[in-house]
Homo-oligomer: A and B are copies of this chain.
Amino acid sequence: MNLESLNTPAALIDVARMNRNIERMQQRMNALGVNFRPHIKTSKCAPVVTAQLEAGARGITVSTLKEAEQFFALGVRDIVYAVGIAPAKLAQALALRRRGCDLKIVADSVACAQAIVAFGRQHGESFEVWIEVDVDGHRSGLDPEDEALLAVAATLVGGGMHLGGVMAHAGSSYEHDTHDALVRLAEQERSRSVRAAERIRSAGLSCQAVSIGSTPTALAAERLDGVTEVRAGVYVLFDLVMHNVGVSRLSELALSVLTTVIGHQREKGWAIVDAGWMAMSRDRGTQRQKRDFGYGLVCLENGEVLDGYLMSGANQEHGIVSRSGAPDHAIEQRLPIGTRLRILPNHACATGAQHPAYQAVKPDGSIETWPRFYGW
């Protein structure tokens, strides 16, 4: 199978780029002296995760218990479920642990810790729990200075659970676009997480893991003293949002959507393609960044960027490709019906999720279908 034999739309992974991305991140983590635990929510795809583990990753991060189920079935034991657990999901987490999965769960409130303790005691299970720390006001987690931090820790340990560590995610890193700002945020992520661990230890409790990470801060961090591991996800494929943040060159973007020109509106300078938001996702992550790429940046079938051409609009199975600025009234000749293009997406996690499989393009041009899963 080769590129020409693929139906469109299709999600392509450039395997050489992906492998370079994996190598780059793993080497950084090795140099900084921390373990690396990739967040596999980006790909949900066995060959991708296998490549990450073979490069040196230790364990994985998941965003759903389904991901934990799927990768545990493939032999991955060491898994962090990095979303605060809903009490009703504890039965599923227990079942995984009883089957031998070294699953860590996350809490950031006394109420959640109490629910874990109650369920754990009822079933004779000492769950390993990591406490989520808020390092940048982005989303979840406890402020490292919050009294509740020690209350959660005491609730867990007093209730017979295993307090495994603290974890944080500097999700606000996506809002920056300078190296200096990312370096500062990475240090903030590090220092606040380490501070939370130290407060727990000062209270006489064990807190082994200090787990932090986001792709931009992981690539910007200059030192990681006190951190035991880093988590990152989207680095494996990169995307236009990461390009705008400043952590990847366009030539490092490993995911694209192959599409075919199916029509034109000459007056408007539009080419219509058979990839719409169903194939790209509705993610408009570059909308408020320094360069708005619409629904994606257009490349020729061979991957060469067609500078200035964007997917400027999308319906479910129609995309509108147009030139930024003045309309290209010769677009019908430039991109005739049947022309195949590749669209670089805003957000690799969102675009990949729209596709039942990736088409992995190897350096020799051959293609392998890599299934991915979805759902909960």
Contact = CB atoms under 8 A, between A and B. Distances in A.
A66 to B, nearest CB: 9
A355 to B, nearest CB: 6
Interface residues of A, number: 59
Interface in A345-372: 347, 349-350, 353-357
A63 interface: yes
Interface in A239-265: 260-265
A318 B85 CA distance: 11
Contact of A89 (B7, B84, B111, B350): B7
B350 A374 contact: no
Interface in A1-27: 7-10
Contacts of A28: none
Copies of this chain held together in the complex: 2
Interface in A266-286: 272, 274, 277-279, 281-284
A338 interface: yes
Contact of A315 (B7, B171, B338): B171
A337 B112 contact: yes
B86 A338 contact: yes
A161 to B, nearest CB: 16
At the interface, is chain A mostly helix, strand, loop or mixed? Answer: loop
A47 to B, nearest CB: 18
Interface string A304-339: 000000000101111010000000000000001110
A337 B263 contact: no
Contact of A337 (B115, B171, B318, B374): B115
Contacts of A41: 316-317
A318 B169 CA distance: 13
Given A262-B83, A320-B139, A355 B337 contact: no
Contacts of A108: 263
A228 interface: no
9 contacts: A7-B88, A7-B89, A7-B376, A83-B318, A84-B262, A88-B338, A112-B337, A284-B284, A353-B354
Given A8-B376, A354-B374, 8 more contacts: A8-B88, A83-B317, A85-B262, A86-B274, A112-B337, A140-B318, A282-B347, A353-B354
Closest 3 CB pairs of A and B: A282-B282, A356-B375, A86-B260
